Amino acid sequence: MDSHAYDQRELDRRETADRNVGFLLHDTARLMRINYDRRMRELGLTRSQWWVLTHLYFHEGISQTELSEILEIERATLGRLLDRLESKDWLERRIDPTDRRVKRVFLTGAVGELLQTMRALAGELRTEALAGLPPDRQEEFIDTLSGIKNNLSRMLLNGSSQNKDGSNG
């Protein structure tokens, strides 16, 4: 018996709802969103608004279609949300210089102060969420999550939903 199969069986034996990787990732993400929602609500932002602004902070100039795919919302729904944010002068849509059918989304200077506040509140939440983990363990944790995300993304790109041994989960 190879050691990988033994290790997997040992992990399966110890698994409970509280130690299930999928549940832990889902519940952790949900609790982070809820806590961030509360902080953003004090700024007058809805989840949809802060979600779009945060993605644009990291991916400014992204196309409207790409943003719709990343956020997993319909293009028409995103269009209406962008209309509202544009009416507040927080973003602008520009025609792509190489393809006039594509609209790229950019933040404006008018949202700068709000973004600084949002980033500070996000930093506080991260600090509180990672409290008790030494800095080297925090980096290791982030590297581990990045590895898991990359594995799952690669599986989607390859059209695979099964492990190498043919089992699910």
What are the tens digits of pLDDT across the range 69-87? 999 999 999 999 999 999 9
**pLDDT averaged over every residue in the chain:** 90
d(CA 90, CA 99): 24
Give 126-166 pLDDT, tens digit per residue.
999 999 999 999 999 999 999 999 999 999 999 865 555 44
Phi, psi of 103 (to 5 degrees): -105, 130
Burial (CB < 10 A; 0-12, 13-18, 19+), residue 56, is: buried
What DSSP element (H or E) covers 92?
strand 91-95
Domains and CATH numbers, the chain: 19-122 (1.10.10.10)
Q: Per-residue pLDDT averaged across 47-56, rounded?
A: 96
Complete DSSP assignment for 34-83:
HHHHHHHHTTT--HHHHHHHHHHHHSTT-BHHHHHHHHT--HHHHHHHHH
Q: Per-residue pLDDT averaged across 98-114, rounded?
A: 96
Give 4-39 pLDDT, tens digit per residue.
666 766 667 777 878 889 999 999 999 999 999 999
Phi, psi of 47 (to 5 degrees): -60, -45
Q: Are 43 and 118 in contact (CB under 8 A)?
A: yes
Confidence of residue 2 (pLDDT cuts 50, 70, 90): low
Q: What letter represents residue 133's amino acid? A: L
Encoded tokens for 18: 């509280």
d(CA 133, CA 6): 29
